Amino acid sequence: MKKQATTIFLGISLLLLAVVSFIFFRQIDTGSSGLFSNQGGRMPGMGMHMGGEVTTELAPSTEQSNKLVLPPILEGNLTPEDGTSYSITALNGNTQLKEGEPTPTYGYNGSVLGPIIRIRSGEKVEIKTENELDTTTSFHWHGLKVPSNVDGGPHTPIPTGGTADLKFMVKQEAATLWFHPHPIGEAGEQVYQGLAGLIYIEDENSDSLALPKEIGINDFPVIVQDRSFGSNNQLDYTQSYGPDGTYGDTLMMNGTINPYLDVMNEKIRLRVLNGSNARNYQFRLSNSSTFYQIASDGGFLNEPVPMESLQLVPGERAEIILDLSDYKVGEKIQLMEANIVVLTINVTEKTSKKSPPLPKTLNNIPKAEDSTTPDKVMTFSGMGNMVAIDGKQFDMDRIDLRAKVGEKEVWEIKNIRDMMGGMIHPFHLHGVQFKVISRNGNAPPANEQGWKDTIALYPGDSVRIEVTFPEKGIFMYHCHILEHEDNGMMGQVLVE
């Protein structure tokens, strides 16, 4: 009994210490005039970021190494009228994620995550969706340029047992997009439980470019997510929940903990999606070598961009090329986030064919154009339950902005610093791929000069984007920290 009391006392003291130092460090943070970023200012072990949000630190995995699970490619059926038809069903399941008991999860067409929907630019597509979960969901196609009745946002909930038949034309270029649930107030929990899948769009350009494109051989999807496991390997959303984002201490790539990949000594392509609820990543390679980003959210960049580190906020994607041509069989390289291994890549075989050099030109995206006065100005502010856009919280019955289809606009998006310093909000806009014109008056970095649907807004940032909606309807814009989205950091634009 006495021992227990001491433990409790110790526990409370530690908690107090944590709270006090938290306030203290935040004050330092507010006092400094330096730029906020998630690159610096991480305090190991303290379980928080200087950016303002409390997080759970990632812990190195103690699980045995597992082969990276690759999501299957979903086969479509060719129909005479509706083009290629796909079926996606949201399911309850159990998945062996860790040693021990299987974890109750959600998945699309399986127990966790989902298949890759592979579609072609210019084609007709039908997706038959079905909800077999015991809760309402919606099927949102993040990054897809479709009319809003197909978009799958909060306006189109699918109740348990419900179905929806979506038909659309693929009107955009080759890109790696994704799909996930978007029901009002529940997106965070449902993604956390396992709902997310990838969409590959292909076109003539992606066919012809000399890039690694043998899926599962030298072209790999990597969905990065963080989770916390309770006793019996449960994913307990309520337990792990944070109003500024639900974080986990365990990384999962495609649902695999501590994954490895066996490849040949050639160029390999990783299509990385930050599918986490809230965590930002700063990826790099274990030997600090240079890699090349070839695509951003909405398609290929104009040219490969050499990088030593890559930041991805929730919802963002990047395709990167690692050149392993000079590696010997038996050598390995690791994709890292800080000191945590994301993915171990083993060179296990010698290839007979040499990878061609990276193409110098990948795309021909015209430069984003600024205007003297932006057409729209919006502000992101607050934390926790106080998050807001332009001081307002989401109201499905309120149209916040209006735009005309096909008309180019300049939006200025601001992230207002508060007394606590503020935090990074990932800005996402539905139904369109936009271009970043400037960040705080400066040209965006080279890897942000392609098509984007999700961008980081640092505290104090003012970012200008060029937007032209291709389709009509009501489209959402929101913070892609899913808990902020669920807390109402979302607005809607009516495109007519």
Residues at the site binding ligand C2O, with contacts judged by CB under 6 A:
140, 142, 180, 182, 315, 428, 430, 476, 478, 480
Cβ at position 477, least distance to ligand C2O in Å = 8
Q: Which residues pair with 48 in a beta bridge?
A: 43, 54
Task: Closer to ligand C2O by CB, 322 or 401: give it.
Answer: 401
Burial of 318 (0-12, 13-18, 19+ CB in 10 A): buried
Q: Which does 425 bind (CB under 5 to 8 A by kind): ligand C2O, Cu ion, none?
A: Cu ion
Q: Which does 484 bind (CB under 5 to 8 A by kind): Cu ion, ligand C2O, none?
A: Cu ion
Cα angle, residue 102 at apex, residues 99 and 106 outer, rounded to 5°:
130
Cβ at position 476, least distance to ligand C2O in Å = 5
Q: Which residues bind Cu ion (CB under 5 A)?
A: 142, 425, 430, 479, 481, 484
What b/e sequence results for 292-303 when a residue is b if at least 16 CB atoms lie within 10 Å of its CB, and e otherwise?
A: bbbbbbbbbbbb
Contact 438, 370 (CB under 8 A): yes
Task: Closer to ligand C2O by CB, 251 or 476: give it.
Answer: 476
Task: Closer to ligand C2O by CB, 291 or 411: give it.
Answer: 411
Residues 6+ apart with CB under 8 A from 137: 90, 131, 157, 158, 181, 183, 186, 190, 195
Task: Closer to ligand C2O by CB, 98 or 182: give it.
Answer: 182
Q: Which does 182 bind (CB under 5 to 8 A by kind): Cu ion, ligand C2O, none?
A: ligand C2O
Cβ at position 84, least distance to ligand C2O in Å = 23
Q: Write out the H or E segment, with its range, that includes residue 401.
A: strand 401-403
What b/e sequence results for 59-85 when a residue is b if at least 16 CB atoms lie within 10 Å of its CB, and e otherwise?
A: eebeeeebebbebeebebeeeeebbbb
Q: Which does 315 bind (CB under 5 to 8 A by kind): ligand C2O, Cu ion, none?
A: ligand C2O
Burial of 279 (0-12, 13-18, 19+ CB in 10 A): buried
Q: Which does 146 bind (CB under 5 to 8 A by kind): ligand C2O, Cu ion, none?
A: none
Q: Which does 180 bind (CB under 5 to 8 A by kind): Cu ion, ligand C2O, none?
A: ligand C2O
CA pair distance 476, 37, nearest whole angstrom: 26
Task: Closer to Cu ion by CB, 36 or 229: give it.
Answer: 36
Q: Which does 467 bind (CB under 5 to 8 A by kind): ligand C2O, Cu ion, none?
A: none
Cβ at position 428, least distance to ligand C2O in Å = 5
Q: Which does 478 bind (CB under 5 to 8 A by kind): Cu ion, ligand C2O, none?
A: ligand C2O
Cα angle, residue 49 at apex, residues 44 and 51 outer, rounded to 5°:
150
- Amino acid making up residue 40: G
Task: Closer to Cu ion by CB, 68 or 387: give it.
Answer: 387
Task: Closer to ligand C2O by CB, 222 or 476: give it.
Answer: 476
CA pair distance 27, 419, nearest whole angstrom: 9
Cβ at position 289, least distance to Cu ion in Å = 33
CA pair distance 376, 62, nearest whole angstrom: 49
Residue nearest to Cu ion (CB): 479
Task: Closer to Cu ion by CB, 142 or 145: give it.
Answer: 142
Cβ at position 485, least distance to ligand C2O in Å = 7
Cβ at position 38, least distance to Cu ion in Å = 13
Contact 412, 438 (CB under 8 A): no
Cβ at position 480, least distance to ligand C2O in Å = 6
Contact 487, 247 (CB under 8 A): no
